[in-house]
Amino acid sequence: MVAGVILDVATVIVCASNAISAQQAIAMALPAALLTGGGFIALLVPDPWCAWRRGFMHGCQAASASDSRPPAVVVAQKSLRSVRLSA
């Protein structure tokens, strides 16, 4: 998260001083946002691997509890009179 914040500050400084173009500013801001966001997630979730496993387990339980039969399909034949050709 520290690297993301440093890159955020550097991006703001060079944008404020008009030292780089808008495209270069976006190219700097994207990794800064990803690093900062990833750092915040790491702070909020102390053990992300355990949380991922727990979520996967709950997803598997929800899938097994859901109805596994496919829905009934109604097949109806369309009449040829209702077909219109546009020129």
Q: Are 4 and 36 in contact (CB under 8 A)?
A: yes
Sequence spans of domains, the chain: 2-65
pLDDT at 75: 59
Is this structure's pTM higher than 0.75?
A: no
**Cα(9)–Cα(23) distance, integer angstroms:** 17
pLDDT at 62: 87
pLDDT at 77: 61
- Kindly list the averaged pLDDT for each block of 10 residues, start to end, along the chain of length 87: 87 90 91 90 83 90 76 61 59
Q: Are 30 and 68 in contact (CB under 8 A)?
A: no
